[in-house]
Chains A and B, each alone.
Chain A
Amino acid sequence: MKAFAQKPDVDLSIEFAGIRSPNPFWLASAPPTDKAYNVERAFEAGWGGVVWKTLGEDPAAVNVSSRYSAHFGKNREVLGFNNIELITDRSLATNLREITEVKKRWPDRALIVSLMVPCVEESWQAILPRVEATGADGIELNLGCPHGMPERGMGAAVGQNPDLIEQVTRWCKQYYSKPVIVKLTPNITDIRVAAQAALRGGADAVSLINTINSITSIDLDNMVAKPTVGSQSTHGGYCGAAVKPIAMNMVAEIARDPETQGLPICGIGGISNWRDAAEFAALGAGAMQVCTAAMLHGFRIVEEMQDGLARWMAEKGYRSLAEFSGKAVVNTTDWKYLDMNFQTIAHIDQDKCIQCGRCYIACEDTSHQSIAKLIDASGARRYEVIEEECVGCNLCQITCPVEDCISMVPQPSDKPYMSWNEDPRNPFRESVTATN
């Protein structure tokens, strides 16, 4: 037994679109939430909620073998993950029964039911009362599944059509009394259009992103992509750490769009640790869904996520998620509003530099030739920034293997803020100055 230890004095509990949860970490609709066994284990491990793997009409879907593939890093760490699974392949009755039982046993946890049925009113009208009867806290519309289901007119086929998003959301609000979360697909041009449609349909919240169409790798011996089913493959849905930047952008787009501002957002996409969660919250996410990280490491990761987030919050003086949620949204703007008079320059900490020359060759070959390679009297190499040539692009800092060795130093300036709209170098300058 561990010794009693001081815990950070913060409240991780949330209320998201009317759904209460002891912490913001939910398991996303996926294999980890496909049955009572897994969900119970997740709750035991400390997850604040789950989105039960998507239910559909009977007969249940049938899956192929195999189903997953990955985009690996050099040390075989999984950078991105890919799957060609369909919605649950268990019967509706079994799932509904288990959902009812689990919710009874874990009343304090959020239990959301993911749904996907054909795009006709009767189908939604038929399933929603049965879902409502389980006692689950809300539903999430799976309008994003990119493989298999769109061919059947569901999943991303709906999520890519704003009119259908609005229509289906409306039916759900009509036949279901609890919160309706609309899960959006990233396989579109402008996520704001889909979010606006969900809002028009009456959505209580949106969640994003679903997976991205992808092919992770090719078996070069057999000339077939992975995952391989016999001798063939198909595109899958991409998720995991690699999609986080894409997901965060889409969350931010919705968070700062005047039409959808204030619409609760459940962040999904590559959330693997407390920092990822804090970043999504900073961009306006009120809850976070996790799947790939749990699939790769097990449910135990939630311990680190809760502890890390709580400690960081305590350090910063945030007592609840709401206190910092969305704080980075106001600092996210369009390119044209960025300050043209701001200048930053790279600085190399010579005490930390290990003289690998990576910054030098990156800058020399591909950027601005603003790092000098010097040899000092003892014959030792030394790299110095040529400040007058440096544009502050960050490439050297990115290539440097030593953390905090290269820093970007903002340069003092007596010039006021000036956007591109105001910049005399802009031939299409707007006559009226806009602000951010």
Chain B
Amino acid sequence: MTHPLDHLPRAGHGSDSDSLEANFSDLHPPLTQRQAFIESQRCLYCYDAPCVEACPSDIDIPRFIREIAEDNINGAAQTILEENILGGSCARVCPTEILCEQSCVRNHDTECQPVLIGLLQRHAVDHMHFDAHPFLRAADTGKHIAIVGAGPAGLSCAHRLATFGHQVTIFEAEAKPGGLNEYGIAKYKLVDDYAQKEIDFLLEIGGIEIRHGKRLGDNFDLESLRRDYDSVFLGLGLGTSRQLGLTGEHAEGLMPATDYIKELRQSEDIGDLALAQRCVVIGAGNTAIDMAVQMARLGAGAVTLVYRRGVEAMAATGHEQEIAKANGVRIITWAQPEQVLLDATGRVAGMRFARTEPHGDTLAATGETLDIPTDAVFTAIGQAFDDASLSDVRASQLGREAGKIEVDGNFRTRLAGVYAGGDCIAAGQDLTVQAVQHGKLAAQAIHNEIMAQQEVA
């Protein structure tokens, strides 16, 4: 299959690759030692701190910030990693502006601004220097747990299970572990191959094996996992992108944003990437913003993000929207895709949108349309897990809820011994930090169940 953007020029054409690379350096530069120290002093060390309540992964934020202030970086890092083994990447990708930092008491008018919790967390994890791995593995239990997916949920689950002394095997479809962190986050949010480095650190705990190229429903199935392992955790990512459902969906010049972001993140030389001088991104979430901003930074002249509802309904946070605007991305609201406009050769030449307006809780077309000429269209209208992965006899018995896997409060699916967490379950905000928490709690639940069974036996 040919690449949908092969006909476009390369990003490196006409510009030197060093300056292109520079466009993808850290979006928020890390704090210096001194900045971290000064900022840490701003933390009021709240009791029952609101930031902790707002953190999906239960990190004791006031404690780790106090540890930074007390010149105890390793202590701070350990405080973070004890609750969130992917605390380094979460510090970089978390929408702190709607989580911990939004809850900071220093948001009150009289307090200037919230403590920069995300950057402080990054500082602690970036500067830790342990002589030995800071987490211990309990004596081997002889139990072996299978995990599907080496994304944040699966890795977090694996790490926690390993600390309990269990053996873990992770089945991963892709060539690298990391899931969203490795393949789906804007390049400038996780630079310097950080996702891989963090996983290398995580795996130092031992007892975790990752088998790549293993796709559930393709070259292995749930039934065999249930047979061969003491328990199973499904940390499936969202493998497919939602489609526009329009004619021309598969034309050259149109592709899911996630596919492009994956290429971008994996590319050896971003100068080789296809560059759409004019491009349209359809969607309103962080993926849409990531896509639009990255295309602008690759050198696109006109990047337009189109959303069918108003700004206030956008899933991307205000902070993300600001990043888009700062990068020259034009945001058009109240317009929904109506037709992919093709040129004589069948390639994307533009996109026709129907103007919308609110009609009660639904959207109504106004009858007006809007044509935007473009070289490429990127869709970022949501993802779903690939149903094919859950098509075997056993997997089809998993309960479903809102198109995802149904679990109970302990991350148990309807199939005994099978747990699930992260993006593939209904509860959640599709955040890395949420996935980490699911994996961690599921590991605890799995451990409790296995050990209880052992006692009975």
Q: Which residues of A are at the interface with B, using a C-beta cutoff of 8 A?
A: 74-75, 352, 354-358, 360-361, 373, 381, 401-402
Q: Is B38 an interface residue (CB 8 A)?
A: yes
Asked whether A357 and B47 contact (CB < 8 A) given A352-B110, A402-B110, the answer is: yes
A-chain residues with CB within 8 Å of residue B47 when the two chains form the complex: 356-358, 360-361
Asked if A356 and B38 make an inter-chain contact with CB atoms under 8 angstroms apart, the answer reads no
B-chain residues with CB within 8 Å of residue A74 when the two chains form the complex: 41, 69
Q: Which residues of B are at the interface with A, using a C-beta cutoff of 8 A?
A: 38, 41, 44-50, 69, 105-106, 108, 110-111
* 17 A–B contacts from the bound complex (CB under 8 Å): A74-B41, A75-B41, A354-B44, A354-B105, A354-B108, A354-B111, A355-B105, A356-B46, A356-B105, A357-B48, A358-B44, A361-B47, A361-B48, A373-B48, A381-B48, A401-B44, A402-B110
Asked if B44 and A75 make an inter-chain contact with CB atoms under 8 angstroms apart, the answer reads no
B-chain residues with CB within 8 Å of residue A360 when the two chains form the complex: 47
A-chain residues with CB within 8 Å of residue B106 when the two chains form the complex: 354
Asked if B38 and A357 make an inter-chain contact with CB atoms under 8 angstroms apart, the answer reads no
B-chain residues with CB within 8 Å of residue A75 when the two chains form the complex: 38, 41
Asked if A355 and B50 make an inter-chain contact with CB atoms under 8 angstroms apart, the answer reads yes
Known: A354-B44, A358-B47. 5 other contacts (CB 8 A): A354-B110, A355-B105, A357-B47, A373-B48, A381-B48
B-chain residues with CB within 8 Å of residue A373 when the two chains form the complex: 48
A-chain residues with CB within 8 Å of residue B105 when the two chains form the complex: 354-356
B-chain residues with CB within 8 Å of residue A354 when the two chains form the complex: 44, 105-106, 108, 110-111
Separation of A352 and B38 alpha carbons in the complex (Å)? 25
Q: What's the least CB distance linking B114 to chain A, in Å?
A: 11
Q: What's the least CB distance linking B332 to chain A, in Å?
A: 35
Separation of A352 and B108 alpha carbons in the complex (Å)? 9
| Listed residue (B41, B47, B69, B106) with the most chain A CB atoms within 10 angstroms of its CB | B47
A-chain residues with CB within 8 Å of residue B110 when the two chains form the complex: 352, 354, 402
Asked if B41 and A357 make an inter-chain contact with CB atoms under 8 angstroms apart, the answer reads no
Of all chain B residues, which has the CB nearest A373? B48
Separation of A332 and B266 alpha carbons in the complex (Å)? 75
Q: What's the least CB distance linking A48 to chain B, in Å?
A: 36
Asked if B69 and A357 make an inter-chain contact with CB atoms under 8 angstroms apart, the answer reads no
Q: Which 4 A-B pairs have the closest CB atoms?
A: A357-B47, A361-B47, A356-B46, A354-B105
Asked if B46 and A358 make an inter-chain contact with CB atoms under 8 angstroms apart, the answer reads yes
Of all chain A residues, which has the CB nearest B108? A354
B-chain residues with CB within 8 Å of residue A352 when the two chains form the complex: 110
Separation of A407 and B45 alpha carbons in the complex (Å)? 21
Q: What's the least CB distance linking A370 to chain B, in Å?
A: 15
Asked if A358 and B50 make an inter-chain contact with CB atoms under 8 angstroms apart, the answer reads no
A-chain residues with CB within 8 Å of residue B111 when the two chains form the complex: 354
| Listed residue (B45, B50, B105, B110) with the most chain A CB atoms within 10 angstroms of its CB | B105
Separation of A373 and B47 alpha carbons in the complex (Å)? 11
Of all chain A residues, which has the CB nearest B107? A354
Separation of A72 and B26 alpha carbons in the complex (Å)? 34
B-chain residues with CB within 8 Å of residue A357 when the two chains form the complex: 46-49
